Amino acid sequence: MPNIKSAIKRVTTSQKASDANISQKNDMRTAVKNAKTAIQNNADNKQELVTLAVKKIDKAAKNNLIHANKAGRLKSQVMRSN
């Protein structure tokens, strides 16, 4: 643990940011998984889930949580299976 006050603050803020990033990335992964399973099971709300997954993928790419190419690849996979 750091001794300097600004370093202590830096640890707490970086931990909060890390937690927020992990949470957003997990939400994106869950949305993609839900969309893919809905498409496989031919669910009624599959179009809504695909739209939500694409939205979460775009947001994660915008915040640099995933690479832009990975975002495009994931969106293509979700759309293609639709």
SS (H, E, C) the chain: CCCCHHHHHHHHHHHHHHHHHHHHHHHHHHHHHHHHHHHHCCCCCHHHHHHHHHHHHHHHHHCCCCCHHHHHHHHHHHHHCC
Domains within the chain, CATH numbers bracketed: 5-81 (1.20.58.110)
Q: What confidence tens digit (pLDDT) does each residue in 2-31 have?
A: 899 999 999 999 999 999 999 999 999 999
Q: pTM higher than 0.75 for the full model?
A: yes
